[in-house]
């Protein structure tokens, strides 16, 4: 049936604060996880990825944490900026088989100046 009234989860933060966006994945066999950022009217843009043999990976101002025990993934953004306002998607899959990525619903991040 329809998901009538379904809204994206929204996270609102103050500029300069750290943001944490959470994602629960479903398939314990997934060994590859990826975060994308989608700004309004644009296509998704790669942020960071992590394989299941790691539990943490850092990029520029971003950190991805993976907890395989509880099938949980998080994206941490340090010193959040207005340009970080977007919808953030996590996706799970198998390395080398990127066409079969399973995408989450997304979280809308709003940065207040």
Binding site for another protein (CB under 8 A): 6-8, 32, 34, 36, 41-46, 49, 89, 91, 93, 95-96, 98-101, 103-106
Least distance (Å) between residue 100 CB and another protein: 7
As a whole number of angstroms, the distance between CA 4 and CA 48 comes to 32
- Residue found by looking up tokens 């953004």 in the block: 77
Least distance (Å) between residue 14 CB and another protein: 24
Least distance (Å) between residue 35 CB and another protein: 11
As a whole number of angstroms, the distance between CA 84 and CA 39 comes to 9
Query: Residue 65 or residue 101: which is nearer to another protein going by CB?
Result: 101
The answer to whether residues 48 and 74 touch, using CB atoms and an 8 Å cutoff, is: no
């Amino acid at each position: 049936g329809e998901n009538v009234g379904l809204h994206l989860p929204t996270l609102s933060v103050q500029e300069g604060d750290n943001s944490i966006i959470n994602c629960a994945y479903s398939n314990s066999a997934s060994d590859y996880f990826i975060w994308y950022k989608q700004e309004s009217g644009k296509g998704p843009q790669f942020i960071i990825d992590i394989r299941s043999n790691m539990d943490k990976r850092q990029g520029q101002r971003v950190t991805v944490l993976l907890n395989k025990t509880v099938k949980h993934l998080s994206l941490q953004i340090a010193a959040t900026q207005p340009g970080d306002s977007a919808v953030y998607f996590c996706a799970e899959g198998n390395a080398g088989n990127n066409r079969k990525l399973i995408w989450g619903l997304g979280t809308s991040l709003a940065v207040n100046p």
